Structure 1
Amino acid sequence: MLAHTLTGPEDAPVLVLGNALGTTTSLWRDFSLPFRVLRFDHRGHGGSAPVPGPCGIEDLAGDVVELLDHLELRQVYYCGVSLGGMVGMWLAAHTDRISRLALVCTTAWVPDKARLDERIALVRSSGISAVADSVVSRWFTPHCAPSVVAEFRDELLAVDVPTYLACVEAVRGMDLRADLAKIDVPAVVIAAAQDHATPTELVRRIADELVDSELYVVGDAAHLAVVEAPRTISVILDEHFGD
């Protein structure tokens, strides 16, 4: 069972928040949303135990379904960043558990697999510390507070190494492009202008393929835009899920 917290008014709609690879629920610490909020850590991250062996996006999504079943939540709103967004796309395409969707700084597939191949090789040979600086440098803009960068770097270094590798390989092998047309729930798609991990053109392609979506581009943020621009994104989410 994934480590999780469920907070907020008991009579409010439940909003599930899915984290980026290498991060934990602290990703959302600056968000105060008028919903009953379910935060969770992916397998091998934060308080969630590692799961041995390889995995795909469908397995990570299955972890979320198991959590929803455990909490007796039939249908929820869902917002995911990067890997969390990939999980959200799979859930919305293959289950009826998601009634509204938000996707932040994510992609339906990775065209540049060489970068991930290099990361996988380095982590296998030398651990996450060998890639930590390059990964975190893509998460934030240069003017982000050094203390914030250091905190998230420490979180990345704490991830279970075999699970991290399995998740990177899941992202590398993922192709959700054909699934986008199956997603018929209202969606908001958010890109960050300075995101070099999932550039705006990749995020825009998701919005273009979804049946019912709006696209927003946040200017002064990189891949972890929810950390650098929480107020802007909170407004977008509040408007989308509060309709």
Structure 2
Amino acid sequence: MARFLLVHGAAHGAWCWRDTIPALQALGHVARAIDLPGHGADTTPLGQVTLDRYADAVLDALDAPAVVVGHSMGGYPISVAAERAPDRIARLVYLCAYVPWSGLSLAEMRREAPTQPLVPAIRRNDDGVSMHFDPAMAPDLFYHDCTDASVAFALANLCDQPLAPMQTPAPLGNAYASVPRSYIVCEDDRAIPPALQHRMAADFAPEDRHSMNTSHSPFLSDPTALAALLNRIAG
């Protein structure tokens, strides 16, 4: 049995792991998901959300060492959490997620990709501190291999995304480097180009690089296969 903590990506929340949690539980694991500050049921004002507060939320959810899975933007807060408290994290798993490079914010890392599929869908909000994704474009970017019901569920739950966490580099050092880590490339991803995912995973050990033939949202499109892969990684 393993413990899993599941951390969502930009504009998402704990809700996106709805189908993956029971799939992991069916394999005998303990699994839970959290809402990062300003997401889902968390009511932190968007102007007060920072990368540090994201990392605090991850650590606050760890009452025992766990495999911490970060999706997409979630790769940044799980990395900062590992730098702060490596003893509380059994392994980091980056699910089509950003792996911080030295000195680069997530927004800067996104620009390292050969194409920028997300840019046309980004809408800055009038508050000056957040953005959202155009709901008309979100299905093709994030959920093109999901059922209509799952797409409707996701679109009903997408939220505004604070900008500050994505504009902040992640200070990482030896503590972070001591934590085992794995990467799962989503080969049919239309949000983060697979070419960039492969670059970010390039310095992971070969046995810690995995792939799925899914969109950016395998937690909804193929939760059973995702749980099976996480089971193998944890084992």
Q: Same fold (TM over 0.5)?
A: yes
Q: CA 1:180 to 1:28, structure 2 compared with 1: closer, same or farther past 3 Å?
A: farther
Aligned-residue identity in percent: 19
Shift of 1:76: 2.1
1:44 counterpart = 2:47: no
Aligned partners of 2:74, 2:194: CA distance in 1, in Å? 17
Tell me the number of residue pairs that the alignment of Structure 1 and Structure 2 aligns.
216
Aligned counterpart in structure 2 of residue 232 of structure 1, from 214, 225, 229 = 225
Instruction: Find the counterpart in structure 1 of residue 9 from structure 2.
Output: 20
Shift of 1:15: 1.4
Q: CA 1:139 to 1:117, structure 2 compared with 1: closer, same or farther past 3 Å?
A: closer
Q: Which runs of 5+ in 1 are unaligned?
A: 1-11
Instruction: Find the counterpart in structure 1 of residue 90 from structure 2.
Output: 99
SS in 2 for 1:232: helix
SS in 1 for 2:154: helix
Measured against aligned partners, the alpha-carbon deviations of 1:73-119 in whole angstroms (never above 9, x if no partner) come to 14222112112222222222332221212110111343339855972
Instruction: Find the counterpart in structure 1 of residue 111 from structure 2.
Output: 112
Give the TM-score taking structure 1 as reference length: 0.74
Aligned partners of 1:120, 1:177: CA distance in 2, in Å? 28
Q: RMSD of the TM alignment (CA)?
A: 3.2
1:79 counterpart = 2:69: yes
Q: CA 1:104 to 1:179, structure 2 compared with 1: closer, same or farther past 3 Å?
A: farther
Q: Which runs of 5+ in 2 are unaligned?
A: 100-105
SS in 1 for 2:197: helix
Aligned partners of 1:147, 1:138: CA distance in 2, in Å? 16
Aligned counterpart in structure 2 of residue 131 of structure 1, from 131, 134, 157 = 134
Instruction: Find the counterpart in structure 1 of residue 165 from structure 2.
Output: 170
Shift of 1:202: 2.0
Q: CA 1:228 to 1:240, structure 2 compared with 1: closer, same or farther past 3 Å?
A: same
Measured against aligned partners, the alpha-carbon deviations of 1:55-82 in whole angstroms (never above 9, x if no partner) come to 33232111222333xxxx1422211211
Instruction: Find the counterpart in structure 1 of residue 150 from structure 2.
Output: 148
SS in 2 for 1:83: helix
Contact 1:180/1:210 (CA < 8 Å) preserved in 2?
A: no
